[in-house]
Amino acid sequence: MTGNNQGFAEAVVRFRAELSAAVTRSRRAAAEARDQSATFRDQTSALADEARDGKAEADPTDETHRATAADWRRAQGLPVAEFAAVTPAPAQVPDDDDEDFSERSIMFRG
């Protein structure tokens, strides 16, 4: 009888060890997911702040990437919004207007 009990006891020990290892892995994965999520939230918040302040610079998505994304969405059964192709805005040229409004002729007319 002790042979059967000993085999059962060993199985319980192995089960507990495997369970403990699984719990450890799941806790580690959950911690990594929380860290990744927090980093993503921080980056998203920073981008939103830049967009709100008008400091964000975004280039239009090229047609190849737009087409690939649209194909993927259709394959997943998701709606695809159709937008007109966007042409990039011309780069802003620095203004050569160097008027100095503190000049004597402007400050004191006479």
The CB density around residue 70, as the number of other CB atoms within 10 Å, is 15
What is the model's pTM? 0.45
Q: Are 60 and 88 in contact (CB under 8 A)?
A: yes
Tens of pLDDT along the chain (110 residues) come to 456 788 999 999 999 999 999 999 999 999 999 999 999 999 999 988 888 888 877 777 888 998 999 999 999 999 988 766 667 667 766 665 655 555 666 556 55
Phi and psi, residue 55, nearest 5° = -95, -10
